[in-house]
Structure 1
Amino acid sequence: MTEFENYLAKIDDPDQQMRVRTVLNWVQETFPQLEQRYAWNQPLFTDHGTFIIGFSVAKSHMAFAPEGPAMEQFADQIAANKYNPGKMYARIKWTQDVDYELLRQIIAFNIADKADVTTFWRK
């Protein structure tokens, strides 16, 4: 988590900071093969140099961004959780629970789907 400490320190609300820290730690513990990277002002996880998932925060939510194909693949589950989706990301309000099983499925999908990808983003 050392890669993300400066980012976490900028989150003013201690509860929000702890929640983001918990999610980032969970990703690293669940998928220890993923590499941490800080880019575009957000913590990211990569696998063999390709983007897997990123996280960001705003006043009313924490967002996860797994790229469009993963958003499409899991659209029903994202909607069922009442996460506010965009084309490339979904927003989890600070008042909502984090569905770790859904995150696990999304990350596992991206790892498998991008196993042969040699670029950072899908083409």
Structure 2
Amino acid sequence: MKDLNEFFSSTSKPEHRFRLEDLFEWTKQNYPQFNVVIKWNQPMFTDHDTFIIAYSSSKKHLSVAPETVAISAFKEAIEKAGYQHTENIIKITWDQAIDFELLKKIIDYNVQEKIAYTKFWRE
């Protein structure tokens, strides 16, 4: 994958693609300091060259990947929002609303926790 256009065009359903584009735009507007990088064939948002969050899509859901530590820190809120999750991703089905308030808390947590971090991933 070379860029975001290729990522968005790989999402087959137009309504899913528009939702992803809106989510990326929301993130860019709320976090203008973030960069979007493509690593491991996946677009990711970074802050001072460290990973903050990534979004991807599957047939059944939108995936939010903020790293395991952040999912653990917000596990109860994620479950209260009605989202399924694994250790690595939060699954938001295509018919579920995105809880932007919760997403902002998760992103802010990563930014704050990694403010002096110099590596891409947490160890």
Q: TM-score range by the shorter chain?
A: over 0.9
List structure 1 segments (4+ residues) > 6 angstroms apart after TM superposition: none
User: One-letter code of the match for 2:59?
Assistant: K
Offset, 1:41: 2.5
Aligned residue pairs total 122
Q: Where does structure 1 lack aligned partners over 5 or more consecutive residues?
A: none
* Per-residue deviation, 1:89: 1.0
The equivalent residue for 1:68 is 68
Give the percent of matched residue pairs that are identical in Structure 1 and Structure 2: 35
Alignment-derived partner of residue 42 in structure 2: 42
Q: Which residue of 1 aligns with 2:103?
A: 103
The residue aligned with 1:112 is 112
Query: Which residue does the alignment assign to 1:7?
Result: 7
Normalising by the residue count of structure 2, what TM-score does the alignment of the two structures yield?
0.95
What do the CA deviations read for 1:45-68 (whole angstroms, capped 9, x no partner)?
001110000111100000000001
Deviations 1:24-57 (A, max 9, x none): 1100000000111122222210011100001111
- Deviation string, structure 1 residues 70-100 (Cα, Å, up to 9, x no partner): 1011111100111111001110000100001
The Cα RMSD (Å) is 1.2
Aligned counterparts of 1:43 and 1:101: Cα–Cα separation in 2: 22
Please give the secondary structure, in 2, of the residue aligned with 1:69. helix
Aligned-partner residue type, residue 100 of structure 2: Y
- Name the structure 2 match of 1:59: 59
